[in-house]
Chains A and B, each alone.
Chain A
Amino acid sequence: MLQGKVSEIPDAVFGWAMRLCGVAVVALLGLIVYELIVGSQLSWHAFGLKFFGGQDWNPVEEQFGALPFIYGTLVSSLLSLVIAVPLAVGVAVFITEMCPVALRGPLSFTTELLAAIPSVIYGLWAIFILVPLLRTYVQPFLATTLGWTGLFSGPPYGIGMLAAGVILAIMIIPIISSITREVLTVVPQHQREAVLALGATRWEMIRIGVLRNARAGIVGAVILGLGRALGETMAVTMVIGNRAEIAKSLFAPGYTMASVLANEFTEATGDVYLSALIEIGLALFLVTIVVNAMARLLVWSVTRGQPAKGVV
């Protein structure tokens, strides 16, 4: 009844348009890599590998060494992991194994809410609420109890590596927790039942039947959290003190790769300065890619490629 010849052309055009969109995604990544490499050429030629070992960041004399930033990024991220992982895993275990079914939805929703808060608002809260708290109560306490370690010495500014670590921890808890929850849920019920049937308490069941099975996935979740922490910019910039120095104490101010970019990119006078900053950006890019790829492989190996729900 429907008359008229059917042309194959619209189908072909549409198909190619969609494929083009897919190619565009690849092209975007290529563009990022290209611009970062091109932009950092000047700095690479000037300093070579010494760039990553140099401790001296001196724009005035055009001496650029990125070690303080690498140090700051690593220390703040690792500190945040130390704080965040027990909390995130604890929450995940509670939600999946211990909590009454009715509470599960609201609790997981509330932890996801933490992920929705923009970084700059975390920073704002950190500056005016967290830092005074650290300065007045926490840092003196740590100095008296654990000062002998050398990690908690020096004047308690409040602002510094410790503050950065704490706010980062709060920010990465949601992602570690949600991936861990997924990984725990995937553990088959018969594993739990097998352990319970042997007369184990609930905690023993969790420890032996669930956590042990989900180990790889939890490690993956933690590494994903690390990846997020490495790239986090605003909140860290607002509380880390922005001083390009390597210090042992966590009370000392520091500087991360992301922070120096945030603070100095628009101020960069001179092509070498800008190129050095872009080279830091390239380093940050490579590190986060590798870390994220490792993390995804681990998580995928446990969940068998089932897509993560929600934003990851």
Chain B
Amino acid sequence: MGVGITVEHLNAFYGKTQALFDINLTVLANHATALIGPSGCGKSTFIRCLNRMHETIPDARVEGKVRIGEFSVYNGTSATQLRRRVGMVFQKPNPFPTMSIYDNVAAGLKLNGFGNRKQLDEIVEKSLNSSALWGEVKDSLHKKSGASLSGGQQQRLCIARALAVQPEVLLMDEPCSALDPISTGKIEDLIFQLKEQYTIVIVTHNMQQAARVAEFTGFFLLGKMIEFDKTEKVFTNPSDKRTEDYVTGRFG
């Protein structure tokens, strides 16, 4: 079951440069929320603040409050622990190249000390089923490496890997931008199904995709969040002129 996310007065910095300005929003549990905006508007930075991946960049800094469920993200809790409850799928599929498909999916569990072989088998099968990859790889789980799959399959593998640790939230940073339309379609279908179990936040520069999969959409521009509302409203009747300009294609 997913949990909600609350963000209060979030400011993010790269060294002296400020990338996010006073972001406030609430993500509803078990819904998909899309974040749109032109390149460089800060949507990727924002999503990486939610699981503290932003910190992996030297000189990066965050101020503000983020809560995932009842869990405070920035208050003395370890980033590693947080990331076990928040899964992430990246723009370019990044399976571990020296590991088999099975080991890739099981990586999050094995590396964190979870060793029961039978349970691992079950979880791997379940996760690959959830990401609609099981049928295609079930015969070569241990024989093929993660990197030998096609682009679309690799991304679904990465989704399975993220799901295997049973997070409550799934963050997706432009997951389809490196994929062909057919793979994109498969992953969008996936998101539809995953919504029932997880809370999904998806960054996309593809407005049609946001319209297809997300109930809520946030529009970012130059590090600020301009508007956040039901997807339908943001696209057909936005409150802010800048949103309107963007979704009608006048810029970006």
Contacts and interface: CB of A to CB of B under 8 A. Distances in A.
A and B touch in the complex (CB under 8 A): yes
Interface of A: 1-2, 5-8, 11
A11 B81 CA distance: 13
Interface of B: 78, 80-81, 84, 109, 112, 114, 165-167
A1 B81 contact: no
User: Helix, strand, loop or mixed for chain A's interface?
Assistant: loop
Contacts of B84: 1-2, 6
Q: Which of A1, A5, A7, A11 has the most CB of B within 10 A?
A: A1
Contact of A1 (B78, B80, B165): B165
Contacts of A5: 81
A8 B109 CA distance: 19
B155 to A, nearest CB: 22
Contacts of A8: 78
Contacts of A6: 78, 80-81, 84
Given A1-B166, A11-B80, 11 more contacts: A1-B84, A1-B165, A1-B167, A2-B84, A2-B109, A2-B112, A2-B114, A2-B165, A6-B84, A7-B78, A8-B78
**Interface pairs A-B: 8 shortest CB-CB:** A1-B166, A6-B81, A6-B78, A6-B80, A2-B84, A2-B112, A8-B78, A1-B165
B71 to A, nearest CB: 13
A103 B85 CA distance: 55
A248 B242 CA distance: 87
A8 B78 CA distance: 7
A46 to B, nearest CB: 53
Nearest to A6: B81
Nearest to B82: A6
A11 B78 CA distance: 11
12 contacts: A1-B84, A1-B165, A1-B167, A2-B84, A2-B109, A2-B112, A2-B165, A5-B81, A6-B78, A6-B80, A7-B78, A11-B80
A123 to B, nearest CB: 43
Nearest to A3: B84
A7 B113 CA distance: 14
B50 to A, nearest CB: 18
A6 B80 CA distance: 7
Contacts of B109: 2
Contacts of B166: 1
A7 B81 CA distance: 9
Contacts of A1: 84, 165-167
A8 B114 CA distance: 19
Contacts of A11: 80
Nearest to A7: B78
B20 to A, nearest CB: 26
B170 to A, nearest CB: 13
Contacts of B78: 6-8
Contacts of A7: 78
A196 to B, nearest CB: 40
A273 to B, nearest CB: 54
Contacts of A2: 84, 109, 112, 114, 165
B213 to A, nearest CB: 25
A11 to B, nearest CB: 8
A10 to B, nearest CB: 10
B241 to A, nearest CB: 45
B229 to A, nearest CB: 33
A5 B76 CA distance: 13
A5 B165 CA distance: 15
A5 B81 CA distance: 7
Nearest to B109: A2
Nearest to B166: A1
A7 B84 CA distance: 14
Contacts of B114: 2
A246 B64 CA distance: 77
A144 to B, nearest CB: 65
Contacts of B165: 1-2
A11 B79 CA distance: 12
A5 B84 CA distance: 11
A3 to B, nearest CB: 9
A275 B29 CA distance: 78
A284 to B, nearest CB: 41
Nearest to A2: B84
A8 B167 CA distance: 21
B73 to A, nearest CB: 14
B108 to A, nearest CB: 8
B239 to A, nearest CB: 39
B110 to A, nearest CB: 11
Nearest to A8: B78
Nearest to B108: A2
